[in-house]
Structures are given as structure tokens and as C-alpha cells.
Structure 1
């Protein structure tokens, strides 16, 4: 029997099964060493394509790659992923081998049988086990299973060597589970399974990509040396900031002090810490200084920034590139340009030959850069969303410094999942985590609390620092709600302020009212330039608009900017006056950070108004936050000394978040409405003993216990996980350079070129809700490339003024893509 894992498209060269298995094993071992699970990960790589040792697979791949054949076999018709998982189950899933080898067979076996789709349920909502169906009950497609085993032990590893390897893997598993909160057995098994799955997916695709491109393995970058160079360049820049003109020297001194404190903190051991620098305090550079010094001291492999909005990513990434003088090693990742396949079962990614759709999946997309900027949506998707593209990146979150900028933007329903992910990264994956915001959420206040280190705050005397940074006063104008007409007049009246206002920023809660106010202001035919910003524009479009606004600001020219909340977190821009529609206290504080940002003037006003025409019925988190903020404003009207006398004090913020999380307590564990409000946390790591678990349902309906150590529903949980309630689809738009990218994608790019194109395309995408996407498809506004996995917008469907101009009042409560 021939041994064929892959046939290269360019020259018909064969990669044998034994070559592929051993090479993937070595890569997976390297990844696994980061969590001290080298052999567990290696075992997954060693067995993942065992099923390619069959006559049927050889016949299939030869027929599929025969250029003279008029008919091709159906892709994925040969199951080659079940055999490896079945081998582990058959050999080690019995009590004679002890519990750890049984658990090992389940964890590694699930990763193997799922490596062309997503992790299977050990026990699911239909009282069945998708895992058992594959490794124990399946017969069809496994007729040559015994031949596969025999060939493996002859060509790859002897039975004795294999048993020794499994022994080492079982020992690693025992140590892992005993050392890492043994009382959280299901939780640790869930995260470990996902990490092993991630390592297998990345090792498999990396090896396949290298073979298909006929390239040797890439040499591992010496990040410690690189970070040392970055640190030198950063410090040179920081020294130069002290004498920057046009800014309050006291503010610059305070920023310098914050930066020094961050560096001093870098010698603390790995953990979860808070960095509560007030808005405008220079937290991006201060946190980078901490990260570079900490990474060198504790040998961290990468630095990852997680931010809420794509606008901030582009701004911060570009700033860091310039300061560090490097454009090759700093990755932006804000959206999945490629949609996951809709297939849940047997999406045979690497059947051994490459199609157009295959090239997309082999494109490098695994977060292996030294510095990465990404969004909260992408971070949470890596842990919990369906599909192999997201989870492939997971193992690269280990042994890293991860900085969450504006961490208060964690979606409420994901709070428990977020906390648990961070706890695992700290306690098991060797990562250091910084929660960076002027408005720290009370993540330690909830039931599944975040395990902050003792004395976690990086800045000493934080209350004094907040007072020293005070540059605005909040003016409560919520007692008399305004409609769009009244608000437009109020905006224009600000320019008559005797204190000399040249520019105004207005931030509202929905795209509909933003557009309406913008249009009404334009009707006044004022000479003042007016700009509109929303997520209907691709990020490059928004960035270009912001650059134009900044030009007016730099020249001290009059200008008005009307925006959704995308501008209020982390965008380095400063207005003389800000008007903010009533929302959560964190949003008001962030909006205030866009006013008098550099302390140029003694004090400026931030007006909080109540907009009559905002429809928040589909934005319950904003509505709830607005209600609590209204209560705090009422308290201050009754007693001006409460909360330290001002709305943005730490006491007010703590009260706000405690009230918010108390009110939202029932929703923090991610209810799944489609499953009668069963919680995501129950599916992922609920114990067997729960009376309403799927395990209990299995026993009740079948009359026997599920014969497995694990009984959780990884596949079902991923199927229902969406950070944003209404899932969106990324569409590349023909704005600026986006036109060329669309043209190039329509050609036949190589895998390397495709990697570059997909990364470049991110800033030229707009995220559409399903009904928006379907509406555009029906009206021929969208085309699809790469077997339907990449969507592009027609030129006529994109507007220079508003972007993708589709009426929709369900603007994302969390604009994270």
C-alpha cells in the first residue's frame, strides 16, 4: 500500500503519512511544552491522520488529484480522522489502565476526531454522545481500521515506543490536573482539551502549508532580543515626550510618573493586575513599557493588546509601529475576513490536495507575531466560538503579556466566561494580564470572580492621580430631554460660548440618531465642517475621517463630529466640548476623555443629555447602564458631596459597576435562549452530578450511566456562542485600497500572497447583520469568492458619506469587530 498524506499541487510530490504524522507531532510537542503538556499535544499530532493508512484513502487522493479524470470523488468522502481517536479509546479507555489514561483518551481522542470541524459533545442535548458515536459505535468507513493500526506500528512507532509515549502523556495529565485547582476538574479538562485541539490544528495546518508551499520550517524568532531593541526605541520616544509643545506640562509630568511606575511594576511575578490610569494618562505607552520590560524579565513570547474597537486598534498599532520602527512583526487582527464553513461534520480540510477554498485555510492566521492588536470579540471567539480558524490561535495566548485596553467593554453575558479564561491563562498558561482602563469594572464582584493578585493596582495613590488629571466638569442636562431638532440647536449654540469653543463632539447611542442629527446639522447650512462616524464605514474610512477632523483641530478651526460610541474609547483626539447621550457611567467617563485631553485649558464642559428619539429596546445593556447612571446623577443633585462630589470618581464608578452586575447577575453566565435558557457555563464545565445536566438526562433515558469520565457539551456550546447577540458577517468593501484587494483576491494568489491580502483586507471590511447581508445578496450587492468563504461588496452599495448605508437601529451594544 502506498503511503500518501498529501500530494503537492505544483509538482505532484508526495508527503508520506509517516512524514506528516512525525512532523506534526514535533510541532505539537513544541507548542505543548508551554503548558507542560508536551506529550499530550504530541500524541494528538502523532495519531491525527492515522486513517490515511488505507487503500481507500490512497485511491481517493489519487483520483482527486488526477488532472485527466473527468469526474472527481466527493471531497471528504473518506473518513481519516476517526481512526486515531478510536485507537486511543480501544487501547486505553478501560479501568485497568486507570483514570488518567481514560481521561487522556477522551481529551486527545476528541481533538483528533474533530480536527476537521470542531470539538464533539461528550454528552449532548439529544441525550447522545457524538464522541462515543465516532470512537465506539461507528463502523462504516472504518473497514480498514486494523490495517491502519498495523501500518502505523510498522512505519511510525513500535507498540512498545507508543505505550511509553502514552505513559509520559498520562503522567503529564495527572500532574496538570493535580497542580491546577483539582476541585475544578471539568473546568480544567475543558480548557486543556481546547488547548490541545488548538495545538493540533495549528501544527497540522503549519506543516501542510510548509509542504504545499515547498518551504522549510520557519526559524523561531528571538523575541527576547527583539523586545530589548523595542524597549530601547520606546524609551527614546518617551524621553522626547517630556518637552512636547502645546500640552500642559503638569499633565506630561503625570504621564511620565505613570510610565515610571509601570516599569517598576514589571518585576512583579506573572499575574492579573489593574492599570487604572485616568483617560488621557498615556496608558498605551505606559502599558507597553511594562509589557516589554516584563517580557524580558520573565521570558514571555509575545505581547497581545485586546481592545474594544477597530478604530483604536488601527490608531494604536500604527503609533506603536512608528515608535518601535518595525512594520514586520506587529500584527493587527480585528475581523475574520474568511467565514467558517457551515459544515459541522467532516469538513476534511486537508484531504491531501488543495483547492481555492483550501488555500484560505492554509493561509497563516495563528497569532504567532511578537506583538498583536486584536479585539475583545476575537479574543472571546478564540476560546469559545465554533470552527477551527478561531481556536487555532488559542495556544499562542500562553506565556504572553496580554493587555486589555478598556476592559470595561466586556459584554455582560460573557463576564463569567471572560473571567474563567483569564484565570486559566494566569494559573495554567503562564501569562501575565493587565486590565487597563480609567473605569475598572468590578470583575471580582461577580460569582465566578476574576482572580486578581493581591494589591493588583500598578499605580500608587490612584485617587490623588485621578484628581490631578481632572480636566473637565460634567454638566447634567438630562432633566429636559431633547429631540433631534433641539439637540442640533444646542450643538450650534456651543460655539457662542464666551470661553471660546471651536469644536464639538457629539456621541449618541445608535447609528440611526447619529445619522439623523448629522443630516439635520447639514440642513442648517452652517460654514462649520460636519463629520459623521459609525460602524457602517470600514475602519480605514473611519480612520480617514478622523484624520480630517484632527487636521481641523490642529489648525484650531471650527468643526463638529457626530459619532456612535466607537470614538469614545482610546481614540487619541481632543475636543473643546463633548456632548454625550445618557448611557452607562463608563461610557460617560470615556466620552469625557475626548475633551481637553491634554489639559490645554483649565476646565472644559462635558454635557450629558437625554435624547428623546433613541430606541434602546434592542440594546438592553445600554438601557440598564443608562438607568443606573441616571440614579447616580439624581443622587448628586440631592447631595453634591456624595461619591466624593463628582460623577467620575472611583467611588461613583465602583457603585455603578456593583449595581450593574447585581442587576445583570442572572445573565453573567451566558444564557442560551434556544436551549431553554440553559447556561453556557453548564455546557462547558458543569459537573455530572447536576440533576438537570445532559448526563442526568442520558442516564434517565437510556437506563445506564454514560461510560465516560467527561460529559460536557463543547460542540453545542460553540454552536450557540456569539459575542454579539445578532451574529455579523465581514464583507470587504471597495473603499480606497479595498478595491485593489478585491481585484487581487479575484485572481489566483499564492498561499503567502493570500495571507498578506487577508490581513490587509481587515481594515476594509464592514460587519453586516444577517438581514442586511441577505438584503444585499438579494439585490446583487454582494459577490462571493473562494467557494463562498469571502464576501465582497459592490461599489454601488458603498457610500462615501455613510459607508454601507443600510438603515438599522440595532447598532451593536458592543462594537468589537
Structure 2
């Protein structure tokens, strides 16, 4: 019997190691060709499982087959070190040649890490986990056997040297490409790209073998985008026959849409789209994306939104227009919790845990809707499931909706990712919002294209779309909850609908309890509800609004970013200017009621002690309001002018500049320092190593990719995703995840699970465990709520008794 890579579950058929290595190489080359490094990624595919050419691993697999009730310990045989060790021996010699040695470091790290996450070249303990791994003492006889088998059955040593030379040349060309990025930054993104390509190629080849398929079916994106564009233009042209088509606002909407269409002919780059709220931003950006993708051969269109609450809305609108449910993916969060997996179990027999890893979750759909959290996780968070998607973010059009919501601590990381995608990823990036942040004024700037704004005469456009008056009630008086209830009651005598947006859960809870005394339909939207549940609540709210009935909605800021609702009156607690502008976008959205009022109040019961970003934004907005009260011509004459926004963001980022690089006080470093610091930099770990050891680290790369990933979280608390039993479909979904599914079925169910999941903070998960509110599925890799822990009206119930816990929204 030859050496075994995998044994198929259905018929016991063997995939040989050489077939697997060749298959992964071929896929990895396709992925790497997108940025001109096909031999670099192909080299990773060729060598990643070289360690399976051992008697030890073959025995390990056969024992697992013959003793299913008492299999050997998972991951007890190390097969991922051998390939990285071989590269280190061949190309990381005493007389280092820069590009072959760099190649060994980059590809070697991907290989040794492909069952966990990238190793640190240098960690905070001033050790090199990477070096320890590639210099690890392996059984000499087994290592020599694996080398001999590889050179005899896959590629000769001479052929490997030729192939590696091509890879080294690609690396040289990549690093020599003119860019504002440092070499360390280029190397960081390249290492992550190679790792992403290897992970996806390995899992895809294994899945194809398990499903008894020889090739992956490929969608013709160009033909699809052509069809989509025709459908979109049919929708846009249909507006021309409407009675109100010739109103000034609708003519301006059509003009801005036409401007986006013409702009699509420009080369890919980083651009801004500053259409005001109600200006048709979603369709205009889709029009740009479809045309640009067709003209420049982009593989996919990715919408990145700030909150899960608007993924389903935007995706629903696009699905309706394009008449396609198959090729549009909503990705809210990772349903499978496997970020901390540190084993080599994905190889050999395909069990339930392995199927979860092999399930398609790689962002290869033509159109994707996801969140800023998931986008940033793809580049910076721990877990092979996250980084697997990175290579598919290249050759794309990315629309960042409400980009002003990028968390302050992630601004520099966000800018670096976008600059990489522009320079190396062959992607076009659109910052789409009514309130453009000053992301090019920070230290690590966005490499924005010249004449980046897609819409001409922005000030005139903003004036034309003015539908609300901002009423300043924050600089002269204070509101508590009782006073706010009275004020809302007064407003309801003049208007039919009121939306109240406050800064903290505590004041929302207090206001909600007291508003229940008013005999008016009352709703809230909450992240404690799954997407399907939120859609149902929004449908009820919209029905009241469409029928011009009395209705009150109360929420934290989650409702203000892009949710398509239009209230007669909005009350917004004082916050950043961008938040006030977004709240105003939920008032008189279509301008049907002349000029309506948005009241800005100062709620004295809000405790912003732990919400420094909101507190900073609030104080800057207050100063701008005071300026406007003193001189009505200041800052462009009104709170939402281009000049006011520019002043706000410049001051906001200046006040918080110490947070922009994602500081890590425990390590006395920041994230940028861990990922991209120069070896000679005064604050680099390498300088600490040199001072401590009295010598240089014998590597070209000395950064801490794993430490950075372990410390990265877009929001303050790491959350875990849990499926919820909302309505019959949610309950059926949970019931179907019983471990007997095929990989194809798992892929389908996990995709559907995006609509029926919420995120739990650690303390919430612990409380549910204490209250027996959790169910563990698929060997504990997927969590679900008990039916009694999800209220059909209010969502998550931590007490697991169906009672509504107001502290949860």
C-alpha cells in the first residue's frame, strides 16, 4: 500500500499523498496568479503535506480506520513540519541569499501553520516559535523517507530548485513594486495571502475528493454581471415612467446614478461616493460595481456594512432587483467556533469536525454582503476560517457602506488593508457614505486616488436633498428619562411616528419601560434578535409607517446605519456628527413631508465612562453646535455640511490618535508594531531581542503575526456565535445539524444559519451555561439556544425562561 493522504468516508477509497499534493498545488497556483505569485503559493501546496510520506502517519490513519471506537489521539502525528523544515534546510543556509531565504520563511510558515494559525517569527517572550518549529528534531529515518518519496513521486530535487527559483523571482518582483508601504507591511500581507491560498486549496481539494468530484464548478462571473447589469438598468429605467420621475429630487438621483456609471470606466482605485441619505446610494453603487467588474474582469462584488442589521435589508433589495437567490451570500458571522483549533485532524478520515472545516466558507460567491467585523477578521483575526477568505477579497469591487463606522482602534489596520488591495490585490474600493470620514488625514493614510469623489458639486447636492432641520436642544437644556417621555408625548400630538436613538443600553431600558405606559404601538430592534427576527420586526414597523399610523421605535445606534425606514420625527441623543447625520437619514427619508425636525438632546443619565469614542464625538459635536449658535455662517452654515464633517473627523482622529494603531498596553506595543515594524525600529521586538541576546535574530522577518491575531478583536469583547430557534425554520435548521450531513449539506445549512444566529458576549454565554440555555452541536463546534432561551418577541433570554430581559438591547 502507498502513502495515504485521505480515506473517503463513503466507499473507503484512498487519496494518495502525491495526488493530494498535486491537486493542492494546482489550486494554489490559480489563487496565487491573481497577484502574480503562483509559484510562491504553488510551492506551499506542493510541500504542505510532505510529512505524510511516513510509516508513522500511514499507521496512524489505518489504526483510526480499524479502531473507530478507540482511534488514536487526534493530531498525535506531526505531518506539517516536514515541508517547512525542508525549505529551511534548502534555502535558509549560513550564506543567506535574500529572496530564497525570504521564500523559505514565508512559505515555510504557511506550511507549518496550516492546521492552526501563522507562527510568530519573534514573540513577546523574545523567542522564535517559527524557528523552533522548522528546526524541530524529526525522526531522521522518517524525514529522509518523506524527502525521498517526495522527490521520486512528486517532483525531483532539481525540478524543485527550478520551481523555487521562479517563486523567488516572483517574490522579488512583488517587493520591488512601487508602493508607499514598507517592506515589512508588504511581507505581512504576502505571508497572509500565501497562507490563505494554501488553507483554501487544501480544504477544497480534500472536499472534492470526499465528494468524489474531480473539479470545482466555476461560475462565469462576467456573464453573470452582464445579466445583472441589464436587470439593474431595466429597474432604473422603469423609474422614468413613474408619476414623480421628473421631480427635482428624482432627476438628481438619476443624475448621480449616471455619474456612477460613467465613473466605472476609470481604473480601479480607492474612491469615495458621498451620496446623501435618500439619494439612491445602494443602486448607484451597485451600478458602478457591475459595470466596473465587467470592464476590468473582477471576480466578485463585496458589500461591507457596519452592522448585521442592514446586511439583510441591502441583500434583500439586491436579490429582488437581480432576481437571484443562489449567487448572493450574506455572511454575518462565523457559525462554527474553531478559531482556537490547534491540531492536525483535518487529514485522514473525514469525521464531523473535519466536515465542518471542509464546508465551503471561502467567499467565492459573485456577490457578498458582510460586516466590517468580518472584513477586518479576514485580515487580522486568529483562525484559519477567517484568513481562508483573504485571497478571494482580491480581484473584487468592495463597497464600504457607512465607512465612518470603522472602529477608531482599527483605522490604521483598515487603511493598510485597503492600500494592499489597491496596490497588489487588483481591487477597486469605494468608501460609500453620506458622511465621509477623514481617513486620509491620519498618520497611516489611505492611498486615495486623485479626484476620488464620484459625485460632482457635493455642497449643492446636499442642499438639494435637505429634508430635515436639526433642532439643537442639547446646548441649553438637559434631559432625563422622565423629561424625554414628556417630550415624546408632546411630539406625538403633532406627528404620527417617532424614532428615539440613545447611546447606552441602560437609558434605553429605562425609556422603554416608561414608554410602555403610552398607548401607542412600541417596538425596538436589538442585536439580541437574529436577522430573520429583525426582518419581521422591521416589517411591522414599516407597515405602521406606510399606513401613516402612530408608532414609536426606540433603539441604540444599530438602527441608524442604512436601515430603510422613514419616521416623521427623530430624537437623537448627542453623539458624533456622523451618528447625528445617520439618525437624520431615518427622518422624512423621501422628502414627502417638506422639512421635518430632528431633535438633538443631551441625556444626563447616559454613562459614557467606558465609551470613550462616543464621549469624544459628543464633545466635538457640542462645540460645533455652540459655534453655529454663535455664528450661523460658521462651518458651512449647518451641522451636516461638508465643512462641518471635515472639521469633526479631523478633530476626532486628532483627539484619539493614540488609539489609531490598536494599542496593546499589556505588551507595551501596538498592533501595527507587532505586524509591520522594521527590525531596526526603536520600538520593535527585534531590538529588544538584540539587546537581550546580544545578536540579531537570524531571520529576515521578525514580526509577530500570531500574537497580533490572538490580541485582535474589532469590538471590545470577543463574541461567540449561537444559532437560535426562531420560528419553524430556525428550529428545523438546528435539528438538521446532527452530524450525519454531507459536506455539501453542511455548507448549505451553515449558509442558512447566517439568518438564524446572534452573537454572545462571554458573560452572556456563561449565564446561559449556568441556566442550561445552550445546546452543543457537531462535537461542540456549533452552539444553539434552547427554545426556552429565545423569546419569540424579544430574542435572547439569558434566564432561559422566556421572560424579556431589557438589559439585553
The question of a shared fold, defined as TM-score above 0.5 by the shorter chain, is answered with yes
The alpha-carbon deviation at position 184 of structure 1 amounts to: 1.1
**Would the alpha carbon gap of residues 608 and 70 (structure 1) be closer, same or farther in structure 2, given more than 3 Å must change?**
closer
| Inter-partner Cα distance in structure 1 for 2:315 and 2:462 | 27
**Would the alpha carbon gap of residues 142 and 612 (structure 1) be closer, same or farther in structure 2, given more than 3 Å must change?**
farther
Q: Which residue of 2 aligns with 1:740?
A: 732
Q: Which residue of 1 aligns with 2:801?
A: none
1:546 aligns with 2:538: yes
| Inter-partner Cα distance in structure 1 for 2:367 and 2:716 | 30
Larger CA deviation: 779-788 vs 256-265:
779-788
1:155 aligns with 2:147: no
| Inter-partner Cα distance in structure 2 for 1:202 and 1:515 | 45
1:483 aligns with 2:480: yes
| Inter-partner Cα distance in structure 2 for 1:117 and 1:417 | 22
| Inter-partner Cα distance in structure 1 for 2:700 and 2:179 | 18
| Inter-partner Cα distance in structure 2 for 1:183 and 1:578 | 44
The alpha-carbon deviation at position 502 of structure 1 amounts to: 1.1
Q: Secondary structure at the match of 2:473?
A: strand
Please say if residues 280 and 593 of structure 1, whose CA atoms lie closer than 8 Å, have aligned partners that are also in contact: yes
Please say if residues 346 and 357 of structure 2, whose CA atoms lie closer than 8 Å, have aligned partners that are also in contact: no
Instruction: State the Cα deviation string for residues 355-388 of structure 1 (Å, max 9, x = none).
Output: 2111111110000000100000000000000010
| Inter-partner Cα distance in structure 2 for 1:96 and 1:702 | 21
The correspondence of residues 78-227 of structure 1 with structure 2, limited to 5 A, is: 78-94=77-93, 96=95, 98-136=97-135, 138-140=136-138, 144-181=142-179, 184-227=182-225
Q: Secondary structure at the match of 2:4?
A: coil
**Would the alpha carbon gap of residues 785 and 142 (structure 1) be closer, same or farther in structure 2, given more than 3 Å must change?**
farther
The correspondence of residues 242-641 of structure 1 with structure 2, limited to 5 A, is: 242-244=240-242, 249-343=247-341, 345=342, 347-478=343-474, 479-497=476-494, 501-524=495-518, 526=519, 528-641=520-633
Instruction: State the Cα deviation string for residues 495-542 of structure 1 (Å, max 9, x = none).
Output: 222xxx111111111233223222211123x1x211111212122211
1:50 aligns with 2:43: no
Q: Which residue of 1 aligns with 2:29?
A: 29
Q: Secondary structure at the match of 1:734?
A: coil
TM-score (norm: length of structure 1):
0.96
The alpha-carbon deviation at position 596 of structure 1 amounts to: 0.8
Instruction: State the Cα deviation string for residues 673-726 of structure 1 (Å, max 9, x = none).
Output: 3213x1000000100012332212222232321111110000100010000011
| Inter-partner Cα distance in structure 2 for 1:246 and 1:486 | 41
| Inter-partner Cα distance in structure 2 for 1:686 and 1:141 | 36
Q: Secondary structure at the match of 1:726?
A: coil
The alpha-carbon deviation at position 618 of structure 1 amounts to: 2.1
**Would the alpha carbon gap of residues 284 and 116 (structure 1) be closer, same or farther in structure 2, given more than 3 Å must change?**
same
Structure 1, unmatched stretches of 5+, are 813-817
| Inter-partner Cα distance in structure 1 for 2:365 and 2:525 | 31
Please say if residues 117 and 706 of structure 2, whose CA atoms lie closer than 8 Å, have aligned partners that are also in contact: yes
Please say if residues 739 and 778 of structure 2, whose CA atoms lie closer than 8 Å, have aligned partners that are also in contact: no
Q: Secondary structure at the match of 2:591?
A: coil
Q: Which runs of at least 4 in structure 1 moved beyond 3 Å after TM superposition?
A: 140-143, 242-248, 805-812
**Would the alpha carbon gap of residues 810 and 726 (structure 1) be closer, same or farther in structure 2, given more than 3 Å must change?**
farther
Larger CA deviation: 484-493 vs 10-19:
484-493
Q: Secondary structure at the match of 2:477?
A: strand
Larger CA deviation: 309-318 vs 738-747:
738-747
| Inter-partner Cα distance in structure 1 for 2:246 and 2:496 | 19
TM-score (norm: length of structure 2):
0.97
Please say if residues 82 and 143 of structure 2, whose CA atoms lie closer than 8 Å, have aligned partners that are also in contact: yes
| Inter-partner Cα distance in structure 1 for 2:327 and 2:318 | 11
Q: Secondary structure at the match of 1:730?
A: strand
Please say if residues 117 and 382 of structure 2, whose CA atoms lie closer than 8 Å, have aligned partners that are also in contact: yes
Q: Secondary structure at the match of 2:570?
A: strand
The alpha-carbon deviation at position 208 of structure 1 amounts to: 0.5
Backbone CA RMSD of aligned residues: 1.7
The alpha-carbon deviation at position 547 of structure 1 amounts to: 0.5
Instruction: State the Cα deviation string for residues 203-225 of structure 1 (Å, max 9, x = none).
Output: 00000011111123123211111
Instruction: State the Cα deviation string for residues 416-471 of structure 1 (Å, max 9, x = none).
Output: 00000000000111100000000000000000000100010000111111111100
1:652 aligns with 2:651: no
Q: Which residue of 2 aligns with 1:693?
A: 684
Q: Which residue of 2 aligns with 1:709?
A: 700
